[in-house]
Chains A and B, each alone.
Chain A
Amino acid sequence: MSPFLAVIARDVRLALRQGGGSYWTLLFFVLTVTLFPLGVGPDLALLARIGPGVLWVVALLAAMLSLDRMFQADYEDGSLELLALAPLPLELTVLAKAAAHWLTTGLPVTLLAPALGFLLAVDVTAYPILIAAMLLGTPVLSLVGSIGAALTVGVRRGGVLLSLLVIPLYVPALIFGALAVEATLDGLSPRPHLLLLGADLLVALALTPWAAAAALRLNLE
């Protein structure tokens, strides 16, 4: 197995096994979505209107909550230093870790989203676009989040700081993702939003590993 895939496989395994907390993220996603009908009232028309936005915001929070898992445990037990010394460039290690984070949060959240969409009475015709937008958008959350996770890796109580740093950077993905679904519901083409979301993903894919690797190097000194 190539080193890149080995890092992904290792991180996915760690996340799925006991204490990994991958299920907790999904449970958080489900629980938080159920809070919205309780908070704004059971009016299905209102829920259907805010549904896509709610799903996106909660998916964003779920991805963010699990970001500290990306580097923190490896930093604490020293394996992050070994990964940094390994022949695989640190940029690619970061990319692999972001991919593993996406496989254990973004992807399951995407697959769960239609089920929660039923609870929020989101129109069924929007589901293919909702899934497509989330498949394009949630990797951006993992990639951009890797910068924040790398910057706060050595910081005590870095979790809250991490969300402060990352939330403003999540705005474009949230906007394009929610707009794609809303455009479909309004009978418009979601294509431009999906294309912009894809462009956002490509920019994140090209640039974030460099920034996150630089931040990791600084915290490993």
Chain B
Amino acid sequence: MANLHWLANPGRFLRIANAVLPYLGALTAALLAWGFFAGLSAPHDATQGAPAKIMYVHVPSAIMSMAIFGAMAVASAVALIWKHPLADIAAKASAVIGAGFTATTLLSGSLWGRPTWGTFWVWDARLTSELILFFIYLGYIAIWQAIEDPNRAARAAAILCLAGSVNLPIIHYSVEWWNTLHQPAGLLQGRTDSSMAVPLLTLLAGFFSFYVTMLLWRMEREVVGRKIRQLRLLRAQA
């Protein structure tokens, strides 16, 4: 807890984030470059051939799309319980990145589905719950846009995020249940050889590092943006 409070000072956060960001950016670039190179030069998938390379974008972004919502739920709880001034900023800054990863997952998945299943979209359980996750991200972003006062918007968004995080497992299992009674689509069960697993894990680390970089950058912008808003309000009142 002591560390959380130490970081709660936005000025200190800005200094640290500014110092760390260039290194994080370089790390992200290196991990992504090496991961994509290794992934593309790895042997083709035995049954699916070249299209399976989409996996190197698809799998890490799918993992990130869910992990970021988890992070947002934790940040929302911290913001509601301890009123940590940076927690709601972190949750807000995460949402757009998470929605981006979700969209990437859906798009890359549909591009992968065309050559392997012969269709861009099936109502498979995983696809459906990812799509609903995308809608929940959009609702979260919408409520930030709808409420003008950032403090009230933060609490409303935090309540929505926590309600969504309670609901997500229920949605996930209900969708799985719904699908298994209809058309089971057995897929995405690749035994992963190390020649593929190593680039995949590198790319996962790269995507994660990309998230942290973008998160810090967007949080910086949000902190500065709120300062500007405050100054403008003060000037308007003067």
Q: Which residue of A lies closest to B154 (CB)?
A: A218
Among the listed stretches B32-40, B157-165, B229-237, which one makes contact with chain A, having 4 or more residues with CB under 8 Å of it? B157-165
With a cutoff of 8 Å between Cβ atoms, the chain A residues found around residue B162 in the complex are 211
Tally chain A residues at the interface, Cβ within 8 Å: 30
* A172 close to B156 (CB less than 8 A): no
* A171 close to B174 (CB less than 8 A): yes
* B174 close to A155 (CB less than 8 A): no
B14 within 8 A of A: no
* A151 close to B174 (CB less than 8 A): no
* B132 close to A152 (CB less than 8 A): no
Task: Tell whether A215 pairs with B156 under 8 Å between CB atoms, given A161-B143, A175-B177.
Answer: yes
Residue from the set B136, B142, B167 with the largest chain A CB neighbour count within 10 Å: B167
Among the listed stretches A59-67, A88-96, A162-170, which one makes contact with chain B, having 4 or more residues with CB under 8 Å of it? A162-170
Q: How far is the CB of A75 from chain B (nearest CB, A)?
A: 14
B155 within 8 A of A: yes
* A152 close to B146 (CB less than 8 A): yes
Interface of B is mostly: helix
Say which residue of B139, B142, B170 sits within 8 Å of A203 (CB atoms).
Answer: B170
B171 within 8 A of A: yes
Say which residue of B132, B135, B146, B181 sits within 8 Å of A158 (CB atoms).
Answer: B146
Which residues of A, 186-221, contact B by the 8 Å Cβ criterion? 196, 200, 203, 207-208, 211, 214-215, 218-219, 221
* A168 close to B135 (CB less than 8 A): yes
B16 within 8 A of A: no
* A155 close to B147 (CB less than 8 A): yes
With a cutoff of 8 Å between Cβ atoms, the chain A residues found around residue B166 in the complex are 203, 207
Task: Tell whether A171 pairs with B175 under 8 Å between CB atoms, given A211-B162, A211-B163.
Answer: yes
A71 within 8 A of B: no
Task: Tell whether A175 pairs with B174 under 8 Å between CB atoms, given A169-B163, A169-B167, A218-B156.
Answer: yes
B138 within 8 A of A: yes
B114 within 8 A of A: no
Which residues of B, 96-121, contact A by the 8 Å Cβ criterion? none
With a cutoff of 8 Å between Cβ atoms, the chain A residues found around residue B136 in the complex are 168
A29 within 8 A of B: no
Task: Tell whether A172 pairs with B160 under 8 Å between CB atoms, given A161-B146, A165-B142.
Answer: no
With a cutoff of 8 Å between Cβ atoms, the chain B residues found around residue A147 in the complex are 159-160, 163
* B146 close to A179 (CB less than 8 A): no
For this complex, into which size category does the number of interface residues on chain B fall? 20 to 34
* A171 close to B171 (CB less than 8 A): yes
With a cutoff of 8 Å between Cβ atoms, the chain A residues found around residue B132 in the complex are 168, 171
With a cutoff of 8 Å between Cβ atoms, the chain B residues found around residue A219 in the complex are 152, 156
A102 within 8 A of B: no
With a cutoff of 8 Å between Cβ atoms, the chain B residues found around residue A127 in the complex are none
Q: Which residue of B lies closest to A200 (CB)?
A: B170
With a cutoff of 8 Å between Cβ atoms, the chain A residues found around residue B23 in the complex are none
A219, B181: Cα distance in complex, Å: 43
Interface pairs (19), CB distance under 8 Å: A147-B160, A155-B146, A155-B147, A158-B146, A161-B143, A165-B139, A168-B164, A168-B171, A169-B163, A171-B175, A172-B171, A175-B174, A176-B174, A207-B166, A211-B163, A215-B156, A218-B152, A218-B159, A221-B152
Q: Known pairs A172-B167, A215-B159. 5 more at Cβ < 8 A?
A: A168-B132, A168-B135, A171-B171, A203-B166, A221-B152
Seen from chain A, the residues whose Cβ lies within 8 Å of a Cβ on chain B are 144, 147, 151-152, 154-155, 158, 161, 164-165, 167-169, 171-172, 175-176, 179, 183, 196, 200, 203, 207-208, 211, 214-215, 218-219, 221
> Which A-B residue pairs are the 6 nearest by beta carbons?
A172-B174, A165-B139, A168-B135, A175-B174, A175-B178, A164-B139
